[in-house]
Chain A
Amino acid sequence: MSAILAVCEQRDGTLRKISHEVVTGARRIAETVEAVVCAAGPVQGADQLGRFGADKVVTLTNAAFAKYNPEGCAHAIAERVKAGGYAAVVFAASATGKDLAPRVAAKLGVGLAADCTDIAADGGTIVATRPVYAGKALLKVKVATKPAVLSLRPNVFTPVERPKAGVAETVAVNVPVGRVVVREIKAAEAGALDVAEAQIVVSGGRGLKEPANFKVLEDLARAFGGQAAVGASRAVVDAGWRAHADQVGQTGKTVSPTLYVAVGISGAIQHLAGMRTSKVIVAINKDKDAPIFKIADYGVVGDLFEVVPRLTEEIKKLHG
């Protein structure tokens, strides 16, 4: 298969870690991978992409790329693809990738296989697997578009080190003046990890009884030493206890952390849709018949207000 273009991301001049996953995913279907990132200048961390299998790392620079520039980036990447004869273009199905990939695909006149959890090359054709119907089924599609345009679900393609040259190249590009302009990014609370990106997610549902009780989950998340985020079920978001940004489920975020701890969450199908691809699931619930126990790897039946503080204590000992 000819070369693949792996579209990477940066924020404030630093490469986003999800880029490692994009390059890792691209290497699954081809020997030769070119990583590309749109930025206003040099991107810190871009030189690391060779470690994950990028033969070449191209920074497309334009002063307008200091913040995400949807129209400019789509133009620059589509032009690169048209000139380069790539077999496929791979994006992350991140907030930016979900916005950018369809724009690029449309400029190339092709469809997009979005939010893939597996990709493979079958002879000359790319086959992609994507969760559909709230994760209740997997759709396998043959992507015969030229090129294939794919986006990868975050946290599924665990970065694999496969060192390549990672030759760096910077290309200044001209783009039309964008009509859609990102004026500012209102940052979430300092240090707060996003549930979609955290390695560990501790989520709470109605079993928490009242908003203030989320403190027990925040304490647990902190005990994991900065790798954990606090998520929430739809019920508690709809009740206004937690922000929508924290919602895990069909009408919230889809997460695939290494460890998902569901606390006081019964396990409605719409919640399972958002977390069933987590690597290990732990459920803590007082109702032993709660559906969440059916998909949890490990369950503890009991009062969360007793179980969770004890868990926090034990985790603290480990990280002591």
Chain B
Amino acid sequence: MKIAVCIKRVPDSETRVKIASNGKSLDEPGVKFVLNPYDEFAVEEALQRKETAGAGEVAVVCLGPAAAQETIRTALAMGADRGVLLQTDVVPADGYVTAQALAAELKGGGWDLILFGKMAIDDYNQQVGPMVAELLGLPCVTAVAHLEIDGSKGVAEREIEGGIEVVEFPLPAVITADKGLNEPRYPALKGIMAAKKKPLEVKPVQLGAGAIEVVALTPPPERKEGKIVGEGPGAVPELVRLLREEAKVL
């Protein structure tokens, strides 16, 4: 099986967000960057599929700054075979621009599967996977929490409101991974050592500006200072009164 996994370098979810002096982006110094958690499910799925097939290749493709080589090395340490960095200083706010660059790299690659995380936890754009599928003319299933593949046929399950959608699709296909798809492995020391020697190709890319422009990045509105209504069950009648009369939600 020949599988591509598109990954992203994102700030760790526990990062304290400080806004840069331009008022439009994250102040990066001191921020810890990690492999996007949803992409870990995608990498793991690719590795398991290749292991089950007994042969094949897992390539990771990342659009990002030079420092994203480290993110690619994480995926290589998990077991991916090679990496490609589409190097750009700025990851565009317009997801379609990112999708075009990834599609151009993946086109004609003879992939059986192209995997993504269902979204990146920094910009919450949740669109690049299905857009790449459209650009490549491939079938796509998003937010997949369970996947079975038999030859050139796949069955995926995705969570919807109040149920689970069971979806059939043919391969080759684009799949975006949700939590629950698998349990991502931690890179072992042996994997980390091996990753240093695996091929990582850096390709500078020139991206269009796109038509979605950042106006401002701001802290969320402070929630009004809350109050401790009281201690123990005795505080409940007052809580209910406040919910009715002050908050007017009951």
Contacts and interface: CB of A to CB of B under 8 A. Distances in A.
Interface of A: 68, 70-71, 74, 94-96, 98-99, 101-103, 105-107, 109-115, 127, 130-146, 179-188, 192-194, 196-197, 244-245, 247, 250-252, 258-259, 269-270, 273, 276, 279-283, 288, 293-303, 306-307, 309-311, 314-315, 318
Which of B15, B134, B143, B161 neighbours the largest number of chain A CB atoms within 10 Å of its CB?
A: B161
Contacts of A296: 226
A283 to B, nearest CB: 8
Interface in B124-155: 124-131, 133-135, 139-143, 145, 155
Given A105-B96, A299-B227, A300-B229, A197 B217 contact: no
Which of B129, B139, B224 neighbours the largest number of chain A CB atoms within 10 Å of its CB?
A: B139
B211 A145 contact: yes
B213 A142 contact: yes
Contacts of B249: 258-259, 279-280
Contacts of A299: 226-229
Contacts of A71: 139
B156 to A, nearest CB: 9
Contact of B37 (A194, A251, A276): A251
B220 A137 contact: yes
A106 B126 contact: no
Contacts of A145: 94, 211-212
Contact of B229 (A102, A127, A139, A298): A298
B66 interface: no
A236 B210 CA distance: 41
Contacts of B139: 71, 179-180
Given A184-B166, A197-B161, 17 more contacts: A96-B160, A102-B131, A111-B95, A134-B121, A139-B123, A141-B93, A142-B213, A145-B94, A179-B139, A180-B169, A244-B145, A251-B38, A279-B249, A280-B247, A300-B231, A315-B240, A318-B250
B99 interface: yes
B190 to A, nearest CB: 27
B236 interface: yes
A132 B217 contact: yes
A311 B239 contact: yes
Contact of A127 (B38, B164, B215): B215
B134 A297 contact: no
Contacts, number: 265
A135 B123 CA distance: 10
A288 B183 CA distance: 35
Interface of B: 11, 13-17, 19, 26, 37-38, 93-97, 99, 121-131, 133-135, 139-143, 145, 155, 157-170, 179-180, 210-220, 223-224, 226-233, 235-237, 239-240, 242-244, 247, 249-250
Main secondary structure of the interface of A (DSSP, over half): mixed
A132 B214 CA distance: 12
Contacts of A94: 161
B232 to A, nearest CB: 4
A252 B140 CA distance: 21
Which of B99, B128, B243 neighbours the largest number of chain A CB atoms within 10 Å of its CB?
A: B243
Contacts of A95: 143, 158-161, 165
Contacts of B158: 95, 99
B235 A244 contact: no
Contacts of B235: 300, 302, 307
Given A95-B159, A197-B161, A107 B213 contact: no
15 contacts: A70-B141, A111-B94, A133-B15, A134-B121, A136-B220, A140-B214, A140-B215, A140-B218, A142-B213, A183-B168, A186-B166, A259-B247, A270-B14, A302-B235, A303-B232
B166 A307 contact: no
Nearest to B154: A180
B23 to A, nearest CB: 10
Which of A71, A183, A251, A252 neighbours the largest number of chain B CB atoms within 10 Å of its CB?
A: A251
